[in-house]
Amino acid sequence: MQFVTRVIALSRAVQLRRQLREVNKALESLSPPMRRQLAGIAIREFNAAAACEFPHLYGTPPEEKYRAWGAGTDIGIERLQSENLQVRLRGIALWLTVVYHETKDSPYSEQQDLHRQAMRAMRSLKESVPADQIKQWMNQEDAAAA
> What is the tens place of the pLDDT at every residue in 84-114?
999 999 999 999 999 999 899 888 888 899 9
Number of domains in the chain: 1
Closest CA to 66 of 48, 54, 51, 49: 54
> What is the tens place of the pLDDT at every residue in 57-83?
888 888 877 777 888 899 999 999 999
Q: Name residue 130's amino acid.
A: P
Residue 139, C-beta contacts closer than 8 angstroms, at least 6 positions apart: none
pTM to 2 decimal places: 0.85
Burial label, 31 (beta-carbon count in 10 A; 0-12, 13-18, 19+): exposed
pLDDT at 67 (0 to 100): 74
> What is the tens place of the pLDDT at every residue in 108-142?
888 899 999 999 999 988 888 776 766 666 666 66
Task: Residue 90: give the domain boundaries.
Answer: 2-145
Count of residues making up the chain: 146
Pair 96, 119: CB distance under 8 Å: no
> What is the tens place of the pLDDT at every residue in 6-19?
888 888 899 999 99
Give the relative orientation of helices 109-127 and 32-50 as an angle to the nearest 10 degrees: 130
Number of H helices, E strands in the chain: 6, 0
Q: How far apart are CA 41 and CA 13, in angstroms?
A: 25
CA 84 → CA 75, 79, 110, distances in Å? 15, 9, 32
